[in-house]
Amino acid sequence: MAVTLINPDGLPKPDVYRQMSIATGSKLVFLAGQVARDAEGQPVGAGDFAAQVEQAYLNVGTALAEVGGSFDDVAKLTIYVVDWTPDKMPLLGEGVARAAEKLGVDPVKPITLLGVAALGEPDLLVEVEATAVLD
């Protein structure tokens, strides 16, 4: 695998993400933000934050599989959440855990979480952008 995840000494060691990834592969993959849409572009999880997180993560996995990778190759995620408040954290974790179980991967990655006013379509609650490194 081309990505090693660590929590360096001298920084907090969170359970839900890693502070750093070290990439040694030769192919960088920059994936556009993934949202709660199925393969036909139909909405998934209307009004259900956890379901939308799950679908966005599954879409990341699907896209990476197309180029010979997997979610394990993700070096960094950026997650955009509409009207973020800390009480949404359990639902975020629920969606991530469900996707990780379906994908059979460890979802813990370096993550930047940003609260935003809106996304590209009014029904979207979350968007997940990924950078991956493949051998």
Tokens encoding 103: 């994908």
* Stated pTM of the model: 0.91
For 32-85, the pLDDT digits (tens) are 999 999 999 999 999 999 999 999 999 999 999 999 999 999 999 999 999 999
Q: Residue 59: give the domain boundaries.
A: 3-134
Closest CA to 7 of 122, 126, 94, 111: 111
Degrees to nearest 5, angle at CA 42 with 56 and 50: 35
Where does the pLDDT of residue 126 fall: very low under 50, low under 70, confident under 90, or very high at 90 and above?
A: very high
Burial readout 116-128 (b: 16 or more C-beta within 10 A, e: otherwise): eeebeeeebbbbb
Q: For residue 27, how many other CB atoms are within 10 A of its CB?
A: 13
Q: What is the DSSP string of 52-97?
A: HHHHHHHHHHHHHHHTT--GGGEEEEEEEEET--GGGHHHHHHHHH
Q: How many domains does the chain have?
A: 1
Where does the pLDDT of residue 97 fall: very low under 50, low under 70, confident under 90, or very high at 90 and above?
A: very high
CATH code of 90's domain: 3.30.1330.40
Biggest CA–CA distance in the chain, Å, is 46
Q: For residue 80, how many other CB atoms are within 10 A of its CB?
A: 21
